[in-house]
Amino acid sequence: METKSSSSSTNLVDQSVCPGDVILDLSNMTNQTIKLGGGLRQDCDAISVMKAGRLRFSKPNKYWVENSQKRYVPHAEDSVLGIVVDSRSDNFLVDIKGPALAFLPVLAFEGGTRRNIPRFEIGTLIYARVVKANPGMNPELACTDASGKAAEFGALKDGYMFECTTGLSRMLLSSPTCPVLDALGKKLSFEIAVGLNGRVWVSAASPQTTIVVANAIMNSETLSGAQQRIMVEKLLERIH
């Protein structure tokens, strides 16, 4: 969605906003386009907020509302952790914490043909990519990247999966590396898969390490970078 506007940035950027808040008045703006991301809508001559969260801006002209919630709204190209709930002849039904179950076609794997259809039991944890996410339709997943390679996608064996908010999963996937993962990675050896749908899978050599990593991640949501490092140090003191 594009709208005429000037380059003047709103003073609400990086501030908390609520439904109904007007972030931009377009009546006195001309000559430039702005792009509206999730959580914003044009209401006559104003850009208003539709959901609670933080207003973000990326140069040159994109605004969106970033928020943390328990439910997940599927978007194309998101990496998600899904649980197989049913198996059909043509596809698997996968729960990705969205409004509807997602379809994972049996051929959506690297070198997928009718002869080598994968066998997934109900309850299998899968790391997949959202291919299609249209409103009113069930999302479609694939266990390949855009070039058709398996990459990191596929079934996740062993390990421990826990659920968190979408905000925390976004923080864990942010660049530069999230302080909690950075601090844990320096002292412990573990494998982690984070889905943008608010699911995290951790696998380590010992259950003790797995529990420490999972607890550290779950506790880190409301902490600053420095607080996250202190928290990790205190957790590691107890196990060494």
Partner 1 sequence: MAGKGGATPATYSPSPTTNRKKKPPIFKEDWVRPDGRGFHQCRPAFFRTGAVNAASGSAYAEFGNTKVIVSVFGPRESKKAMMYSDIGRLNCNVSFTTFATPIRGQGSDHKEYCAMLHKALEGAIILETFPKTTVDVFALVLESSGSDLPVVISCASLALADAGIMMYDIVASVSVSCFNKNLVIDPILEEEIGQDGSLMITCMPSRYEITQLTVTGEWSTTKINEGMQLCLDACAKLAKIMRSCLKEVASDSQE
* Closest C-alpha to 23, from 4, 1, 50, 2: 50
CB of 201 to partner 1, least distance (A): 21
Does residue 71 interact with partner 1 by CB under 8 A? yes
CB of 16 to partner 1, least distance (A): 4
- The residue among 195 and 198 lying less far from partner 1, judged by its C-beta, is 198
How many Å apart are CA 111 and CA 133, to the nearest integer?
Answer: 24
* Residues with Cβ within 8 Å of residue 44, at least 6 apart in sequence: none
Choices 26-34, 68-76, 199-207, 210-218 (CB under 8 A): range interacting with partner 1: 68-76
How many of the chain's residues bind partner 1 (CB under 8 A)?
31
- The residue among 157 and 226 lying less far from partner 1, judged by its C-beta, is 226
User: In 3-state terms, what secondary structure has residue 233?
Assistant: helix
- The residue among 135 and 176 lying less far from partner 1, judged by its C-beta, is 135
CB of 71 to partner 1, least distance (A): 5
* Residues with Cβ within 8 Å of residue 206, at least 6 apart in sequence: none
How many Å apart are CA 84 and CA 104, to the nearest integer?
Answer: 9
Does residue 132 interact with partner 1 by CB under 8 A? no
Does residue 3 interact with partner 1 by CB under 8 A? no
- The residue among 167 and 195 lying less far from partner 1, judged by its C-beta, is 167
How many Å apart are CA 90 and CA 218, to the nearest integer?
Answer: 37
220 and 180 Cβ atoms separated by less than 8 Å: yes
What is the residue-wise DSSP string for 73-138?
---TT-EEEEEEEEE-SSEEEEE-SSSSPEEEETT-STT--STT-----TT-EEEEEEEE--TTS-
- The residue among 18 and 205 lying less far from partner 1, judged by its C-beta, is 18
CB of 165 to partner 1, least distance (A): 8
CB of 41 to partner 1, least distance (A): 8
Q: What part of residues 145-184 is at the interface with partner 1 (CB under 8 A)?
A: 165, 167
* Closest C-alpha to 145, from 129, 156, 125, 133: 129
Contact track, partner 1, 85-104, x by CB under 8 A: --------------xxx---
How many Å apart are CA 76 and CA 74, to the nearest integer?
Answer: 7
Rule CB under 8 A: which residues touch partner 1?
Answer: 16-22, 39, 48, 50-54, 66-71, 73, 99-101, 135-136, 165, 167, 221-222, 224
